[in-house]
A = this chain, B = another copy of it.
Amino acid sequence: MKNYFIAKSRRIRSTSYTSRIENQGVTAYTVYNHMLLPAAFGSLEDSYHHLKEHVQVWDVAGERQVEIKGKDAAKLVQLMTCRDLSKSKIGRCYYCPIIDDKAGLINDPVVLKLEEDRWWISIADSDVILFAKGLAIGNNFDVKIFEPNVDIIAVQGPKSFKLMEKIFGKKITEMKFFGFGYFEFANHQHLIARSGWSKQGGFEIYVEDTKSGIALYDKLFEVGKEFSVKPGCPNLIERIESALLSYGNDMDNNDNPIECGLEKYVNLDNDINFLGKEKLKEIRSKVISKKLMGVVVDAKEISVSKSIDLVNDENFKIGELRSGVYSPHFKKVIGIAMINKPHYKIDQKFKISINDEVFEGKVCDLPFI
């Protein structure tokens, strides 16, 4: 597949670390929340192996925050998600599908409860701030809604714990998964969560003070030398193997959380008020018409830039591949696909055309690893 350049402009915002990563050899970008998100530092496979063995520092400032504060903040956050947040705690992160009144997915952020009346919605790629503003204005809620100046640094990989301990002390390694706390660096308090968009372990540093954040970015590389630290970014191979879903890629507004395997975050048997609740009850009462599943294809390469049809022996479309990559672990192409009823069963066979050649594949459960 031919490569194309990205045309930069102010509309595609740079991050606090853009000049750093360009010096460090970033080769490709994607755009995420109107911002540059690094997509490659040379070889995807090299970066995959490195991430699984060592530690990487990622510029993921594109994960923007929507801050909601004020008397009705909790009410508004709950209105937008089908996950029950009534027992949520300050200092915890919550993965929350955000849906509209038709139960169509709008985003799948991690929600951070900063205070009872102050929340951050750490968003995937869609303007949740506009949805929140519209709802708040329409409902006459007493809230302030804005995008704070937060540029996240992710520290990911098995050696991230040792690296972070060297900078922030033992305490940071005691934090539980999806917990967050405040840690000092160079006289600034940084919100740090044990989270991140890989399954290799690690942290996300929510940098509010740009200057201190850049110093911290440099410090991570300085101290990280002994742990073979490298710059990196969310890795397509690792995230598909781990089935970390990507909004816009694997699912969109035409899908509901139940179709996407997010039942765990759909809480319907309660009296809390959120959009799409009745619709979700209706969906739950029936057999779903499509389901997000894994697929394995007997091929050695693939590049997915749009949905690719999966067909059966009769050339009938049974689903569509939405993300895919060659996995060095399985030595096959693996992917995430939306499979139609009644074909969404394990070992369902299909055919797929990749670069004008037809390959065989079969449906499987997620995650792969």
List chain A positions with a Cβ less than 8 A from chain B.
Answer: 1-14, 22, 26-31, 34, 39-40, 100-101, 106, 125-128, 130-140, 246-249, 275, 303-307, 322-323
Write out the residue numbers on chain B whose beta carbons fall within 8 Å of the beta carbon of A29: 4-7
Q: Are the C-beta atoms of A304 and B22 separated by less than 8 Å?
A: no
Write out the residue numbers on chain B whose beta carbons fall within 8 Å of the beta carbon of A127: 126-127, 130-131
In whole angstroms, how far apart are the Cα atoms of A7 and B1 in the complex?
11
Q: Are the C-beta atoms of A26 and B4 separated by less than 8 Å?
A: yes
In whole angstroms, how far apart are the Cα atoms of A71 and B341 in the complex?
36
In whole angstroms, how far apart are the Cα atoms of A135 and B134 in the complex?
4
Write out the residue numbers on chain B whose beta carbons fall within 8 Å of the beta carbon of A140: 138
Residue on B with the closest CB to A80?
A: B134
Residue on B with the closest CB to A40?
A: B7
Extra inter-chain contacts (13) besides given A100-B133, A126-B127, A137-B138, CB under 8 Å: A4-B6, A5-B40, A10-B248, A10-B305, A10-B306, A12-B248, A31-B31, A127-B127, A130-B130, A131-B131, A132-B134, A134-B138, A137-B275
In whole angstroms, how far apart are the Cα atoms of A275 and B101 in the complex?
22
Partner of A14, one of B14, B128, B305: B305
Known: A5-B28, A28-B4. A10 touches B322 (CB 8 A): yes
Known: A130-B127, A130-B130. A137 touches B30 (CB 8 A): no
Q: Are the C-beta atoms of B34 and A7 separated by less than 8 Å?
A: no
Least Cβ distance of A27 to chain B in Å? 6
Residue on B with the closest CB to A336?
A: B10
Residue on B with the closest CB to A248?
A: B11
Partner of A7, one of B39, B130, B133, B137: B39
Q: Are the C-beta atoms of A7 and B28 separated by less than 8 Å?
A: yes
> Can you offer 13 A-B residue contacts whose CB atoms are under 8 A?
A3-B5, A5-B5, A6-B30, A8-B305, A9-B304, A9-B305, A10-B249, A10-B304, A11-B247, A11-B249, A101-B133, A130-B130, A131-B133
Write out the residue numbers on chain B whose beta carbons fall within 8 Å of the beta carbon of A128: 130
Least Cβ distance of A99 to chain B in Å? 11
In whole angstroms, how far apart are the Cα atoms of A134 and B275 in the complex?
10
In whole angstroms, how far apart are the Cα atoms of A307 and B12 in the complex?
11
In whole angstroms, how far apart are the Cα atoms of A106 and B132 in the complex?
13
Partner of A22, one of B2, B130, B248, B322: B2
